[in-house]
């Protein structure tokens, strides 16, 4: 094994120094406890794992190397070093020159192997002396380092060596996601969440390999994104929220910072401007948008389905053109979400006319349109994407149009549904969704052909939550299960096995100060937060 390592390293570096230190390392090898990779609490579960029942000793003599010429790999290596430092306090050098003290290496390797099929695929070879992470792209390497982070134990093992070591179970992991779209949605319109809150959510999601964050940026109760050509949207439309608190909005600089932070984690931001319904905040700001001739008032309640744009006015489309243009210019990802749900006071023909027109605007700015499942009633083309949340009839229409479908069935995947009848936060109009129900379904079971399924997204509507603790309470732990539903194959998913791995997430969630719901279905490894701390009386 050590020979293979040396050959691989010298292939990429002229670092005879490392080869020497690896040979020296044989002398210094620390006796390792046998650790079993197949028992590691990885979520989402990788495609294939082959344990070799030994361990890599992560310690102060470990270094990370990457090929400097491979785009993005060095940044991924630094990201790993930062996270390992936060977990272990070890200062692990990246592409350092001083190899005299290095005994073991983590090598993040750009590989063109055909076995690495897909941008997010990676292979991990964990030996006693080395960890080799192979990926075709930096994105694949980024997914791979999440697996490695999860394999590093939370506590060091101080009994085997003079210095602290963190034994990483040895073996081989071959991994690739089942679906390329693995997302969550955050409703920042009903209640506003700060840039810092969104960044924390992004950090947590990316640890579980979720690669999409859909931001619901406008609704009846609030408009949350600065549009320079229409400033009253945020001045007026952003001034309140459900319950009449102060509201808020992202400046364009804030939004760009969220996009940048997500991109650093290989996560795509999808902006949603919900229309023609769910538009009261826009119409309060600019009353000409409203089809009923009345000047609406700011709305702080929770009703839906009462607002609409005037779908037959050219000035409405000039407005939408500006909004889509300004947001698209700040959004490197390929998608723009136009909402399209619950437009109960828009006539059917007007709705179809509207969605058709908006699709053309979205395409003009180089984006692919996504809309809630109702949009399949319009004459849109197969490049647009339907987000299925409620109507099986609409899902069938989307498939007939050969559209891709994102699965967000409200009865299974809505993060704002209450866990049970005791939950104070959340709603239950679709269902109560305990942690097992959230996990035990398959994207394939809804009769939508596999080739039409883009992936899974778990939306978190925010009518009943107004701060990060409450957000975390509804999202965690269920979002962790949705990550496995969208990454792992159905053969690799099993509730009894999953709930043991989920219990082991408690130390990570605690370290990240996540106020998760400590579901009684799970035998949590440890839990700092009691059920009561977050419940509202």
Check residue 470 for interaction with ligand ACM (CB under 6 A): no
Decide whether 109 or 184 has the Cβ nearer to ligand ACM. Answer: 184
**Which tokens in the block code for residue 191?**
């209640």
**Is the distance from CB of 276 to CB of 346 less than 8 angstroms?**
yes
Decide whether 283 or 386 has the Cβ nearer to ligand ACM. Answer: 386
Residue 387 CB, shortest distance to ligand ACM, in Å, is: 7
Decide whether 52 or 279 has the Cβ nearer to ligand ACM. Answer: 279
**Which tokens in the block code for residue 155?**
């506590």
Nearest to 197 by CA among 512, 475, 468, 415: 468
Residue 370 CB, shortest distance to ligand ACM, in Å, is: 12
Check residue 255 for interaction with ligand ACM (CB under 6 A): no
Decide whether 122 or 181 has the Cβ nearer to ligand ACM. Answer: 181
Helix/strand/coil percent split, the chain, to 5: 40, 20, 45
What angle, 0 to 180 degrees and rounded to 10, lies between the N-to-C axes of helices 348-364 and 314-329? Answer: 40
Size of the site for ligand ACM (CB under 6 A): 4
Cα torsion angle, 317, 370, 416, 477, sign: negative
- Tell me the three state secondary structure of residue 347: coil
Residue 522 CB, shortest distance to ligand ACM, in Å, is: 27
**Is the distance from CB of 97 to CB of 139 less than 8 angstroms?**
no
**Is the distance from CB of 340 to CB of 355 less than 8 angstroms?**
yes
342 is known as an active-site residue: yes
**How big is the chain, counted in residues?**
537
- Tell me the three state secondary structure of residue 441: coil
Per DSSP bridges, beta strands 166-175 and 122-126 are antiparallel
Residue 474 CB, shortest distance to ligand ACM, in Å, is: 15
- List the catalytic residue out of 342, 392, 463, 472: 342
Residue 438 CB, shortest distance to ligand ACM, in Å, is: 16
Stretch 178-197 residues interacting with ligand ACM (CB under 6 A): none
**Is the distance from CB of 121 to CB of 175 less than 8 angstroms?**
yes
Residue 343 CB, shortest distance to ligand ACM, in Å, is: 10
Check residue 372 for interaction with ligand ACM (CB under 6 A): yes
Decide whether 80 or 375 has the Cβ nearer to ligand ACM. Answer: 375
Show the binding pattern over residues 383-422: x = contacts ligand ACM (CB under 6 A), - = does not: ------x---------------------------------
Decide whether 146 or 386 has the Cβ nearer to ligand ACM. Answer: 386
Decide whether 157 or 387 has the Cβ nearer to ligand ACM. Answer: 387
Beta-carbon neighbour count of residue 366 at 10 Å? Answer: 11
Stretch 337-366 residues interacting with ligand ACM (CB under 6 A): 341-342
**Which tokens in the block code for residue 6?**
């040396």
Alpha helices in 71-154 (DSSP H): 73-88, 138-151
Closest residue to ligand ACM, judged by C-beta, is 341
**Which tokens in the block code for residue 330?**
């700040």
Going by C-beta distance under 8 Å and a sequence separation of 6 or more, which residues neighbour residue 81?
A: 64, 92, 93, 94
Nearest to 231 by CA among 328, 322, 345: 322
Residue 520 CB, shortest distance to ligand ACM, in Å, is: 28
Show the binding pattern over residues 287-326: x = contacts ligand ACM (CB under 6 A), - = does not: ----------------------------------------
Q: Residues interacting with ligand ACM, by CB under 6 A?
A: 341-342, 372, 389
Active site residues: 342
């Amino acid at each position: 094994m050590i020979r293979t390592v040396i050959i691989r390293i010298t292939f990429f570096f002229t670092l005879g120094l490392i080869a020497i230190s690896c040979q020296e390392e044989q002398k210094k090898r620390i006796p390792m406890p046998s650790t079993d990779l197949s028992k590691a609490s990885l979520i989402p579960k990788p495609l294939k794992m082959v344990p070799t029942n030994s361990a890599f000793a992560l310690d102060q003599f470990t270094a990370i190397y990457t090929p400097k010429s491979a785009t993005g790999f060095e940044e991924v290596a630094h990201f790993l070093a930062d996270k390992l430092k936060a977990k272990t306090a070890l200062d692990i050098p990246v592409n350092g020159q001083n190899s005299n003290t290095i005994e073991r290496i983590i090598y993040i390797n750009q590989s063109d192997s055909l076995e690495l099929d897909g941008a997010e695929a990676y292979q991990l070879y964990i030996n006693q002396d080395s960890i080799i992470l192979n990926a075709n792209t930096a994105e694949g390497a980024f997914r791979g380092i999440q697996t490695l982070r999860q394999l590093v134990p939370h506590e060091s093992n101080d009994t085997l060596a003079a210095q602290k070591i963190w034994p990483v179970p040895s073996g081989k992991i071959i991994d690739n996601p089942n679906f390329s779209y693995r997302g969550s949605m955050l409703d920042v319109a009903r209640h506003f969440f700060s840039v810092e809150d969104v960044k924390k959510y992004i950090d947590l999601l990316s640890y579980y390999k979720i690669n999409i964050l859909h931001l619901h940026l406008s609704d009846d109760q609030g408009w949350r994104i600065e549009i320079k050509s229409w400033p009253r949207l945020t001045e007026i439309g952003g001034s309140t929220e459900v319950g009449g608190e102060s509201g808020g909005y992202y400046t364009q600089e804030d939004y760009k910072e969220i996009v940048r932070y997500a991109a650093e984690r290989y996560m795509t931001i999808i902006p949603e401007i919900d229309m023609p319904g769910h538009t009261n905040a826009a119409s309060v700001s600019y009353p000409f948008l409203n089809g009923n001739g009345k000047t609406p008032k700011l709305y702080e309640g929770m009703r839906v389905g009462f607002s609409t744009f005037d779908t037959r006015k050219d000035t409405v489309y000039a407005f939408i053109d500006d909004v889509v243009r300004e947001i698209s210019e700040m959004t490197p990802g390929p998608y723009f979400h136009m909402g399209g749900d619950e437009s109960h006071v828009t006539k059917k023909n007007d709705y179809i006319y509207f969605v058709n027109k908006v699709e053309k605007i979205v395409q003009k700015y180089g984006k692919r349109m996504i809309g809630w499942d109702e949009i399949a009633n319009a004459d849109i083309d197969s490049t647009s994407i339907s987000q299925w949340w409620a109507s099986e009839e609409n899902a069938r229409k989307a498939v007939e149009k050969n559209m891709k479908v994102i699965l967000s069935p409200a009865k299974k995947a809505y993060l704002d549904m209450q866990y049970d009848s005791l939950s104070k936060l959340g709603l239950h109009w679709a269902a109560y969704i305990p942690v097992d129900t959230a996990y035990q379904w398959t994207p394939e079971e809804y009769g939508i052909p596999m080739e039409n399924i883009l992936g899974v997204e778990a939306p978190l509507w925010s009518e009943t939550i107004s701060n990060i603790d409450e957000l975390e309470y509804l999202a965690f732990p269920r979002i962790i299960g949705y990550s496995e539903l969208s990454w792992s194959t159905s053969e690799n998913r099993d509730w009894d096995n999953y709930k043991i791995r989920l219990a082991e997430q408690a130390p990570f969630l605690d370290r990240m100060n996540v106020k998760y719901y400590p579901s009684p279905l799970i035998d949590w490894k440890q839990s700092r937060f009691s059920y009561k701390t977050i419940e509202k009386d």
